Structure 1
Amino acid sequence: MEIGLIHIYCGNGKGKTTAAMGLGMRCAGRKNKVLLTQFLKDNNTGELVSIEKLNEYFHVVKGAPMKDWFNCLDKEGQEEVIKEHRDRFLSITKKAIDENYDLLILDETMAALNYGVLELDTVLEFLKNKPKNLEVVLTGRNPNQKLIDIANYVSEINPIKHPFEEGIPSRIGIEM
């Protein structure tokens, strides 16, 4: 990339991760290097299965799978998640820089920040000092205003109607 910009996909609607993955697939399709990690997720989504087939250009760094929702974990479980996520954030941002990736996707960064799993100052420091050619995508609900201010793109995805309201549960291949 000549100029790497910062994207935020936020809002309460379905599709933030899917939008980030779509951008990653577009980028990889043009033979650019893409690096992805997901915070506070269980590593069991359909997108990850598809990405494995693009492994020449699209790489995933998986974290320890979440055993439960973060706020349902006991103090010890939360401390383990915090340590693993903070270490992974530092290692993946270093990898993106050292290995000259074109696009870095940090899925569910906002949730990790909102729960205190990641530290805002650390994320902002990385974004302010990232290589000029590295494109970065952050996803999740309720981004901090400081992130909105530093971003070049902020896209909000909000639900107008969702099948969950009709009692239809998440479906493999569509919502997960």
Structure 2
Amino acid sequence: MDLGLIHIYCGDGKGKTTAAMGLGMRACGREKKVLLTQFLKDNNTGELLSIEKLGENFQVYKGEPVKSFFKFMSEEEQFKTKNEHSKRFKEVTLKSINEDIDLLILDEIIASINLNLIDLQEVMEFLKSKPKGLEVVLTGRNPNQVLIDIADYVSEIKVIKHPYQKGINSRIGIEK
């Protein structure tokens, strides 16, 4: 790409990951090289199953599956998650540069930053020095103002109503 911009999909509503994946599918459909990694997720979603069918232009860089909310992890599990997330951020950004990726999707990186699993300053350094043609998507709730300031797109997805409020858990094919 000639000009790679920075996107943020944030808010408390459903659809941040779905929006990022949709952009990835659009780019892949136009023969762009897409790289995705998901933080704080379990690697067991319908999106990942669909991406596997798209071919080599849409790569997924999987991390260690996260099986519970961070606040419910033991100190040891939190420590391991922090190390893995920090290491994977460095690896995936290096991969995006070395392999001339067009679109890098960092799903739930904002939550990882907010939980101090990934250093905000390292993310900012990457965003400021990324290749000119690399498009980057960050998703998650409550982005830091410095991320909002550096981004070119900021889209907030706001919950008005959600089945979870009625006690309906996530369903395969819709939320998972």
Shift of 1:84: 0.6
* Structure 2 match to 1:89: 89
Instruction: Find the aligned partners of 2:68 and 2:164 in 1 and give their Cα distance.
Output: 20
Amino acid at match of 1:162: H
Secondary structure of 1:59's aligned partner: strand
* Correspondence for 2:65: 65
Q: Does 1:171 align with 2:171?
A: yes
CA distance in 1, matches of 2:20, 2:42: 17
Task: Name 2:31's counterpart in structure 1.
Answer: 31
Q: Within 2, Cα distance between the matches of 1:32 and 1:154?
A: 22
Corresponding residue for residue 148 of structure 2: 148
Greater Cα shift, 25-34 or 60-69? 60-69
Letter in 2 for 1:152: D
Cα distance in 2 between the residues matched to 1:71 and 1:167: 21
Task: Report what 2:118 is aligned to.
Answer: 118
Q: Which runs of 5+ in 1 are unaligned?
A: none
Pairing 1:74–2:74 present: yes
Matched, 1:53 2:53: yes
The total of aligned residue pairs comes to 176
SS in 1 for 2:35: strand
1:53, 1:3 → 2: CA distance?
A: 28
Q: TM-score, normalised by structure 2?
A: 0.98
Q: Equivalents in 2 of 1:150, 1:28: separation in Å?
A: 25
Give the aligned partner of residue 160 of structure 2.
Answer: 160
Q: CA deviation at 1:135?
A: 0.0
Query: What secondary structure is seen at the aligned counterpart in 1 of 2:81?
Result: helix
Identify the residue that residue 40 of structure 1 maps to in structure 2: 40
Unpaired segments ≥5 residues, structure 2: none
> How far apart are residue 166 of structure 1 and its match?
2.2
CA separation in 1, counterparts of 2:72 and 2:118?
Answer: 17
TM superposition shift of 1:88: 0.4
Q: Distance in 2 between matches of 1:119 and 1:23?
A: 26
Q: CA deviation at 1:65?
A: 0.5
In structure 1, C-alpha distance between the alignment counterparts of 2:132 and 2:73, rounded to whole Å: 38
What is the match of residue 128 of structure 1? 128
Task: Give the letter for the 1:96 counterpart.
Answer: S
Shift of 1:55: 2.4
Shift of 1:171: 0.7
Following TM superposition, the consecutive aligned residue runs of length 4 or more in structure 1 with deviations greater than 3 angstroms are none
State, as a whole percentage, how many aligned pairs show the same letter: 66
Q: CA deviation at 1:161?
A: 1.2
Which secondary structure does the structure 2 equivalent of 1:141 belong to?
A: coil
Q: Residues of 2 paired with 1:95 and 1:17: CA distance?
A: 21
1:165 Cα offset (Å): 1.7
| Deviation sequence 1:36-89 (CA, Å, 0-9, x none) | 000011000100000000122100000000132111111111111111111100
